Structures are given as structure tokens and as C-alpha cells.
Amino acid sequence: MKIAVLVSGGVDSSVALRLLHEQGHELEAFYLKIWLEDELAYLGDCPWEEDLAYAQAVCDTIKVPLHVIPLQKEYWQQVVSYTIAAVRAGRTPSPDLLCNQRIKFGAFLEHIDDSFEKIATGHYAQVAEIGPALCWPVGPAPIRQAQGERTEVVTQAKQVILLKAKDPVKDQTYFLSYLSQTQLNRLLFPIGCYLKSEVRELATKFDIPNKSRPDSQGICFLGKIKFADFVAHHLGKQQGDLIEFETGKKMGTHDGFWFYTVGQRKGLGLGGGPWFVVKKDPAKNIVYISCTYHSDDKARNEFDVESIHWISGIESKKKDLTVKIRHGEHVYKCSFESSGIQRAHVKIDAQDQGLAPGQFAVLYDGEHCLGCAVISEKR
């Protein structure tokens, strides 16, 4: 096949490229330039040049052309602006989900032509085709059968499902849960059937230039820049009160509610703890904290969701599912009850200290990722 491979300069996408090359596909590599150069130059070192150099070196070893696609404008409009707006509203954003849905498998598609049958990345996930949708070519089948006509069916586009990766720790279906069926139908994840340790072994076997490069961490567009520095750059600082949730007593001050998320423990700068953030009041710039976060009066095992997205385009009829509240291997058993248009109530089988409005809850049926929804404010 002719495949467009998204490379980042990291080990995972480089191994994905090499695996497809070994299989004999016609490949072209693409590096998406989304770094906000002016902004990150102000905040700290911008790593995109180093990333691009590694990506170029990997492509050069197997003579695959590499194209640099500048998407800074699109990224700002569709991902960064959302992140800033969510933080300003007191919500916890998930920019990586929007990056995949709107940029990597959204805006990028406008820069390549239809000759590319598939798009491949270094994500830890898997896709599988399930039973095709079938239809009769012309007229109702019983009539055509009675007339002695041939009764073949026409195979329409197969449904593609998103499955967890072999490596439960590295699994990235959480970040891919916002994709549509149309997007998923064009995707390949060559390393989804490998453990991370096996990917490292393959990198050594292929002797790729970045075989020893450590994994990147953090939000996709920030690189090594701290999220707090990014927020301060856009929203500044404004002193507010740290209030004990149970008593209403002022325990200290903070530089702005936007630096905190529900469930946060570190960075409060108070003695006598441990202290947890339990609530925020954006209108009054108040952060409520508690030493008894896990007590019965602060049950964290149920929540409402909104903006529900099903990858198949069809709502799941199953009520007993599993859910991830954040990226990682941990899942909760849950019940999922629709409570109106694009709303539902979710109850999990344990307490979670970090249920914050704005976070994405990602739903699963076993290994099958069904879609996602946004945790909403309590009614």
C-alpha cells in the first residue's frame, strides 16, 4: 500500500516506519510542525528542531522522503485556544484527544491526497475490521430470488473498531477515543501488537539513529515546558484564597484557581496535611481544600457526562462497561445510564480522587474502545 507515516523523532514512530518499510509498502513520512515557536522561545527551549533532525536521520537510513507540514495556525485555533478557555473556566482540559481528532487525523488529511490508502503512526493501539454491512444491489432480495436472478450481496465499507494495545501500560486508546469511524478506517498502528520493551528491541535491531532516545512526556505541544508556565503566560497570576472545605476557614492564598485541578495534592504549600483540592470557584477565584478528601461525605464514585461520542456513530446498548478516567492501564467497572440527549450518569466500582469537570471519560467493552464523553459539573 501507499502509506503516509506520521513521525515525531521519537522511537515509537520510527519503529512503526521501519516495520512498514520491512513489509515493502510505498512510504512517505510527514512531520507535523505544531510548536508555537515565538511563545515557547519566550518560555524556554523549543525542542522541535531536535525532533525533526532525528526524524530526518531515521528517514535517510531507508531513503524515505520526509515532508514538514506547518500546522501552527490550525493547532492554535483548534487545540491551544480550547485548552486556555477550559482552564479559564475552571475545567481540566485534555488537549491530546483534540490534537488527534482535529490535527493529526483532521487538518493533516487536507495536506495529502487520496493516493495514500492508509495513515500510520506510532500510537500504542490496534484496529480491527468486523463484519461488513451488506446490501442487495437492486430491489428486494425475495423478488429477485423468485425470478431466478443471482443473489450476491454488495459489501459496503467494513466497520473498524479501536482496540487496546498489547502493552496495557503504554496503551493510548484513551487519546484516540474521539476519532470517528471515517478517520479510524484509514489508520494503521504498526506497534500496537508489541510491548514497549519489544519496540525498544526492534529499535536496536534496526539500529535506528534514535534507538536510545528517552520517551517524551507531557502535553504534545509543550514538550519540556511546564504546563503551569504556559498557563501563567496566558492567564497571569491573581491572588485568591485557599479555603478549608468543611469549615470555611482561610488556610492560605494561591496565585490563581487555574493552576489547580480537583484531586491535586502537590503544590499547595501548606503544613498539617496532606491537603487535597476538592472544589474550585472560578467566579470568586477560590480553591477549596480538605485533609479528609477520602471521607464518606466526599464520595467520588459517580458523575455525569456530556458531549458523548461513539466511535461507531451508534450508542452502545450495554449498560455494564469499563471506563478510564485518565491515560494509563487502570480501568473501573461502571454502569452507564443515558439521562437525556448527549448526557449520561456513570457510576464506577471504586472511589477516584481526581474526577474533574472537563476531563474525558473513555468507555470500553472489554478490549474494545467505544468512545468518550466529557465529565460535567455536578447538577
Each domain of the chain, given as residue ranges in start order, spans: 2-125+164-206, 131-157, 237-296, 299-375
Q: Which CATH number fits domain 2-125+164-206: 1.25.40.80, 3.40.50.620, 3.90.950.10, 3.40.50.2300?
A: 3.40.50.620
The rounded distance, in Å, linking the Cα atoms of 279 and 169 is 30
Q: Answer for the pair 69, 45: CB distance below 8 angstroms, yes or no.
A: no
- Cell of residue 373, nine digits: 464523553
AA letter at 155: T
379 residues of the chain, pLDDT tens digit each: 999 999 999 999 999 999 999 999 999 999 998 876 555 555 555 567 788 899 999 999 999 999 999 898 898 888 889 989 999 999 988 888 999 999 999 999 888 988 999 999 999 999 998 865 433 333 333 333 333 443 444 445 678 999 999 999 999 999 999 999 999 999 999 999 999 999 999 999 999 999 988 887 655 556 566 788 888 888 999 999 999 988 999 999 999 999 998 888 877 878 877 898 988 999 999 999 988 766 665 668 889 999 999 999 888 888 789 999 999 899 999 999 988 778 999 999 998 877 888 999 999 999 999 999 999 976 4
Here the cell at position 271 is 503544613
The CATH homologous superfamily of the domain defined by 237-296: Adenine nucleotide alpha hydrolases-like domains (2.30.30.280)
Catalytically active residues, by annotation: 99, 220
Q: Which of 121, 107, 38, 37 is nearest to 69 (CA)?
A: 107
Alpha carbon distance 141, 135 (integer Å): 9
Global pTM reads 0.85
Q: Of 193, 211, 210, which is closest to residue 202 (Cα–Cα)? A: 211
Q: Fold for domain 299-375? A: Elongation Factor Tu (Ef-tu); domain 3 (2.40.30)
Give the sign of the dihedral formed by CA 311, CA 315, CA 317, CA 319: positive
Q: Rounded to the nearest 10 degrees, how much is the dihedral formed by the CA atoms of 33, 38, 43, 46?
A: 30
154, 137 contact by CB (below 8 A): yes
> Cα separations (Å) of 184 from 106, 126, 243, 257?
11, 10, 46, 37
What is the C-alpha separation between 215 and 192, in angstroms, rounded? Answer: 16
d(C-alpha 309, C-alpha 379), whole Å: 21
Angle between helices 196-206 and 11-22 (to 10 degrees): 60
